[in-house]
Amino acid sequence: MADAKTPLRRVILGTGGTIAGRAARAGDNVGYVAGQVSAQDLIAAVPPLAGLPLEVEQVAQIDSKDMGLAVWQRLAERVAHHLAREDVAGVVITHGTDTLEETAFFLRAVLSPTKPVVLTCAMRPSTALVPDGPQNLLDAVTVAGDPQAHGVLAVCAGSVHAAEHVTKVHTYRVDAFDSGDAGPLGLVEEGRVRWLHLPDRPGTETPFDAQRLQRLQQATALPRVHWLTSHADADGVQVLALLAYGDAHPEAMPQGLVVAGTGNGTLHQALEAALQEAVSRGVVVRRSSRCARGRVIPGVAGALADTQGLSPAKARIALALELMGM
């Protein structure tokens, strides 16, 4: 619980997603349109939030499958703006589930915030018979006001996850997120957080990394980093096609490739040969795994560099930022 000196104001930034989705029929949990209901209306649908010191801003109104640099830039700027305010305890972001882990990782990588930035979502639209969004939103506001909460977190179905570990693991169930081997950081129970592990506190007391934010705001595009997968009967055609396309359209030449290998990051020999060709042409290649659990354990002689435990989705962002010198 917050002590008397803890600022309690929380800012809710809406970006769309299923939590703000609407279906024509109440029982329809798949045939809806995401990003229809304003963040203000989402809050109004949660009676326990009434009377709390909250502010709301609509940053975007999209299906998060369409997330990209422009929204990330706007979101990072608004998050940073509010984190710098002394009267703000933390920020909540309502977001689609599909790319929530990517936005969480991106914000963490760019801002390294000290105060909590809590992403939340829903698997069912706001019009569902039993929507999950209202409870998730309430839980996220609770976490954003908890004095032990730091950095970028995700809250869904009563669990608190760290940005670096959270992954969407289910296509339909409301408990759709998991933190793999790391496990969740905590649980939200009746308006209180029960921490299982305390979130890492950044070494600095600055609210966010202003220099990195400035670099991000100057970007007009992220370096092109593609994500490929190895599998039985794979070949190198996708890699060679990307290189050939880049030869014809130099602005589209991939700068990086992340490959989700089989098992411990192993690659079909035909795919690996094409990836080595890409490396010889200056493309940075990183090797992750398509396994849902575990990480690529280094130690195989001659293997392409691994992603140091990052999933392919997060490794793609990390490599793009690295290629920007961030």
Give the span between the Cα atoms of 149 and 118, in whole angstroms. 9
Rounded to the nearest whole angstrom, what is the least distance from the CB of residue 20 to ligand ASP in the complex? 8
> Rounded to the nearest whole angstrom, what is the least distance from the CB of residue 96 to ligand ASP in the complex?
2
The stretch among 58-66, 74-82, 201-209, 287-295 that binds ligand ASP (CB under 6 A) is 58-66
What is the SS3 assignment for 251? helix
Would you say 61 or 262 has its CB closer to ligand ASP?
61
Min CB(42)–ligand ASP separation in Å: 13
Q: How far apart are CA 38 and CA 51, in angstroms?
A: 19
* CA atoms of 283 and 272, how far apart (whole Å): 13
The helix (H) or strand (E) run that includes residue 256 is strand 256-261
At position 156, the amino acid (one-letter code) is C
Contact region for ligand ASP (CB under 6 A) — 59-67, 179-187, 213-221, 252-260?
Answer: 59-67
Pick the catalytic residue from 6, 15, 18, 307: 18
Q: Of 177 and 208, which has the nearer Cβ to ligand ASP? A: 177
Buried b (16+ CB within 10 A) or exposed e, 293-319: eebbeeeeeebbebbebbbbbbbbbbb
Figure out which of the listed residues 34, 118, 144, 278 binds ligand ASP, where binding follows CB under 6 A.
34
Q: Which residue is nearest to ligand ASP (CB)?
A: 96
Q: Is the separation of the CB atoms in 143 and 153 below 8 Å?
A: yes
Size of the site for ligand ASP (CB under 6 A): 11
Cβ proximity of 285 and 230 under 8 Å: no
The structure tokens 């409301």 sit at 174
Give the C-alpha separation, 131 to 26, whole Å. Answer: 10
Known catalytic residue: 307? no
CA of 108: how far to CAs of 201, 203, 219, in Å? 12, 14, 18
- For the record, the structure tokens of 250 come out as 């130099």
Please give the structure tokens belonging to residue 58. 């609509």
Q: Measured from the CB atom, is 90 or 96 closer to ligand ASP?
A: 96
Q: Would you count residue 17 as binding ligand ASP (CB under 6 A)?
A: yes
Give me the 159-198 binding string for ligand ASP, x by CB under 6 A, dash otherwise: ----------------------------------------
Q: Which is nearer to ligand ASP, 34 or 89 (CB)?
A: 34
Q: Which helix (H) or strand (E) holds 168?
A: strand 167-168
Minimum distance, C-beta of residue 276 to ligand ASP, in the bound complex (Å): 35
For 293, the 3-state DSSP assignment is coil
Interface positions, 62-81, toward ligand ASP (CB under 6 A): 63-65
Among 11, 13, 14, 18, binds ligand ASP (CB under 6 A): 18
Near ligand ASP by CB under 6 A, which window of 60-68, 137-145, 178-186, 283-291?
Answer: 60-68
DSSP character for 182?
G
Is 96 a binder of ligand ASP (CB under 6 A)? yes
* Cα distance between residue 219 and residue 207, in whole Å: 22
Map the footprint of ligand ASP across residues 120-159, applying CB under 6 A. Answer: 121, 123
Among 98, 101, 164, 178, binds ligand ASP (CB under 6 A): 98
Interface positions with ligand ASP (CB under 6 A):
17-18, 34, 63-65, 96-98, 121, 123
Query: Active-site positions?
Result: 18
